[in-house]
Structure 1
């Protein structure tokens, strides 16, 4: 998903360094021209390392690096000198980045903490010099190990937004308006569908100088799990949220059906999402009187906590914060 400076998916060719070859060398001194093998080991090839950086929020800085190549290790030499290790390549990535192999789809690394370092592709080991192969029977081995090849292949780096609370709802449900009122974030707000094309994050201040992170995610449409609308590129961002807040507009034709459609899309994409904590906020509730609120509440699932809010009128926001904080801190 890409708009402006937000890039959350890149494809790149990676190759770690090849190990240096071991040296086949024999020591020769003035008084001992056959002093024996003294070939040194080859140096290790460079690793490709992922490092978490909390100051980054996008993969934009890697967008145009099509080839990431680590340095090869240097060959060993005489006098038992080990070759220099190949220089490692350190890729700084935002928290929530997942690295996977393009062919197998296997997740190879996952960065969740600031400063966390993981070796993504290991460099090849350096070969042993001939001095390692000397035995009482064979005191002049005329062979050494070659360096081990590095690893290579097309890889995928994928960013999944890290937030405590994710806002889930159809386009124009009021998610961006709610985020702008509850945080200092300023997402684009307009009266048309898919105003939000990339995730927006904001910090919600709470009592006693506490806070939590909320993400305004692009709207779901029916069929998103099959790739319609923004499809998978949106749904993957939900996987990192501890609590999902379903925003259902008060003027929705069928509130229960709206919730069930949203839930079905999540289940079809990843059934494990159903194990997260769910809350419901009925937005635009300034349109409802008390009798209509009771009617809407009767349509909602009885086992999921709900609250009526109006971001424009700033009604029910403190109750919403209390409900979110309780859910985040409930075992």
Structure 2
């Protein structure tokens, strides 16, 4: 019973501190099991599995796919020495089997109120938090040491993962949004921006769209917002690269141009999230603007648009989810 309460506390706190700012929701039923229906699924000891765990299910409407994405999330909290490729491989192996059953499970749909007559997709998400805040390595290096092709991933299954640095960055972005709200520089009414692409068209209303799990780990995250008390309508771009070269900012500016954001005459703010970004960030960005204008034949109108773009760093905030205060699956 105590673990159920603790897992529920973790899920609620994650939603309050992080995922609500990305327009995610979570189902109130937490830390339950659903029936395993695959006789090939075995425990580490070789005995058939009876059930699979579901710590919490986050969900949102995918703006391109036009269906609801359910993220069956495995919450992990490890100290620095426990974040190893061996440990992660075991977690991924378990999740592969869990997601394979979850995608076809009537028991899961019943327990987590998933309508079978509406388009949806069940995926897995491994959420790995470092509770002693001492993990300095690249989480992706640990992932790359795993032979992913040897994992029992069923056809069509999709697994996502968020490592310690991802969680830290998302926590900092959420706090930055909250701070801008408090300053009257961002409203509560905002949406994550998804332009129409060549092969994919955005569906449904543009406002209230969530950040997809793919965008949370991408190079940038774009928010479109309405007017706030002390700031006009515009765009907030959370940039997740180190900003060491003008070329990467030239590419970003060209992307904004292709998305027709430069011509909108709305305010554009770039907020750099990478804690390893260069000390000369603003100088590098200024050079990128000059080079980009040159490529456009020194177009004065475009130069004026670029000069209005603001770039700053966000304040990095440390997430302190301590397993002594709340329970996590080890």
Give me the TM-score of the superposition, normalised by structure 2: 0.28
Higher relative contact order (CA 8 A, sep 6+): 2
Q: Which has the higher helix share?
A: 2
